[in-house]
């Protein structure tokens, strides 16, 4: 039976855009898995539910399963010997190396659309709700783990020794959930293991950061981190988009000198870098189903048409064309 009334096309004369937008929404509902609690993904791949606020999956035990493009409402670490090719991570497509870790945080989108091919992989998936951390020492320390950001690194590369140690921690952690009922004591043990695993990830992240220092501009890293912090704190909702003069002042440079350094590092302008950063944020928000107006408001634009104009200037298309 058709989902359209019999006189749908004739009576209402849908425009091409409206029809394409309708198809996009239907498609998105089918293809994006909303992981709003840790066990949604566990159930999707056929893994047992061990705890209401934390899911620990051994891929060796559930393979084969199907790919999924996920909209996360939880934190997650995907710790694997090999990953599917051409994963999405925000608006980027990435090819992840062997023995690596991908970190995701609430509000992010990642994975790969189901193409019908069975997936065989080795490793682990660890997902947990922010609620698990409430009242724990770890709750106030999550901001230090910068590898959850889309912008700092795409993945963490483990040594064989790190793979072995992290796998042992995960196996022990899972045994705790299998053998003990939920209680404040168990949650304390789980968050302690979780913090130890995150500290291993932080060590890997800092090692990679040090290795990359010689190949990247320090001013560009600081500029980028400033923009990440600005939007993560919601400052755009109060003061609008960050300006070049504000960024220069925060980094203790004159506007002209700051602009010259960014031009030397990127070949472009500081305001162009800010605009590109904002539009990358916008794409991630739009992909989650928010309207153009809602996206403009979240990003600090006073009027939606100002946002649409900047979006087209940076990308060559409008936000509605991006969604179509």
Q: Is the pLDDT of residue 205 over 60?
A: yes
Is the predicted pLDDT of residue 172 greater than 60, yes or no?
Answer: yes
Per residue in 48-63, is it b (16+ CB within 10 Å) or e — as a string? bebbebbbbbbbeebe
- Which residue ranges does the chain devote to CATH 2.60.120? 30-214
Taking the C-alpha atoms of residue 279 and residue 258, their distance in angstroms, rounded to an integer, is 22
61 has a pLDDT exceeding 50: yes
**Cα separation of 186 and 190, whole Å?**
6
Model-wide pTM > 0.75: no
pLDDT of 15 over the 60 cut: no
The chain-wide mean pLDDT, for the chain, equals 84
Q: And the tokens for 12? A: 């209402």
- Whole-angstrom Cα distance, residue 293 to residue 319? 10
User: Which residues of the chain does CATH 1.10.10.60 include?
Assistant: 216-323
Ranges 30-34, 196-200, 310-314: which has the least confidence: 30-34
DSSP-derived secondary structure letter, 124: E
User: Residue 221: CB partners within 8 Å, gap ≥ 6?
Assistant: none
Determine the Cα–Cα distance for residues 142 and 149; give it in Å rounded to an integer.
Answer: 11
Q: What band does 217 get if pLDDT is binned at 50, 70 and 90?
A: low
> In the structure encoding, which two tokens stand for residue 76, read together?
């997650």
Q: What is the pLDDT of residue 114?
A: 83
Residue 155 pLDDT grade (very low, low, confident, very high; cuts 50, 70, 90): confident
Instruction: Write down the pLDDT at residue 23.
Output: 41
Which CATH fold topology does 216-323 show?
Arc Repressor Mutant, subunit A (1.10.10)
pLDDT over 70 at 27, yes or no: no
Per-residue pLDDT at 107: 83
8 Å CB contact between 98 and 123: no
How many Å apart are CA 39 and CA 211, to the nearest integer?
36
Q: What is the mean pLDDT of residues 117-139?
A: 91
Q: What is the CATH number of domain 30-214?
A: 2.60.120
Q: Please state, in angstroms and rounded to a whole number, the distance separating the CA atoms of residues 74 and 54.
A: 9
Predicted local distance difference test score (pLDDT) of residue 324: 72
Q: What percent of the chain has pLDDT over 70?
A: 85
């Amino acid at each position: 039976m058709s989902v359209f009334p019999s006189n749908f096309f004739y009576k209402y004369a849908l425009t091409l855009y409206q029809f394409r937008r309708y198809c996009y929404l239907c498609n998105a509902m089918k293809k994006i898995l909303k992981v709003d609690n840790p066990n949604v993904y566990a159930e999707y791949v056929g893994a047992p539910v061990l705890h209401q606020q934390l899911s620990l999956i051994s891929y060796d035990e559930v393979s084969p399963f199907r790919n999924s493009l996920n909209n996360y409402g939880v934190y997650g670490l995907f710790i694997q010997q090999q990953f599917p090719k051409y994963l999405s991570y925000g608006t980027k497509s990435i090819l992840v190396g062997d023995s690596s870790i991908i970190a995701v945080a609430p509000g992010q989108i990642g994975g790969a659309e189901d193409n019908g091919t069975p997936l065989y992989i080795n490793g682990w998936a660890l997902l947990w709700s922010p609620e698990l951390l409430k009242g724990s020492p770890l709750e106030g320390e999550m901001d230090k783990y910068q590898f959850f950001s889309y912008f700092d690194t795409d993945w963490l590369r483990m040594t064989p020794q790190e793979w072995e140690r992290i796998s042992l921690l995960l196996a022990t952690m899972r045994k705790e959930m299998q053998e003990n009922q939920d209680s404040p004591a168990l949650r304390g043990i789980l968050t302690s293991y979780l913090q130890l695993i995150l500290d291993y990830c932080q060590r890997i992240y800092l090692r990679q950061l040090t290795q990359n220092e010689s190949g990247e501009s320090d001013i560009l890293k600081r500029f980028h981190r400033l923009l990440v912090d600005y939007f993560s704190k919601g400052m755009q909702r109060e003061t609008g988009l960050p300006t070049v003069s504000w960024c220069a002042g925060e980094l203790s440079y004159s506007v002209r000198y700051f602009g010259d350094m960014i031009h030397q590092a990127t070949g472009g302008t500081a305001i162009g870098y800010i605009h590109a950063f904002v539009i990358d944020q916008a794409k991630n928000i739009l992909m989650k189903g928010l309207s153009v107006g809602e996206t403009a408001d979240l990003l600090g634009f006073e009027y939606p048409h100002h946002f649409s104009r900047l979006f087209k200037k940076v990308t060559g298309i409008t936000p509605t064309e991006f969604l179509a």
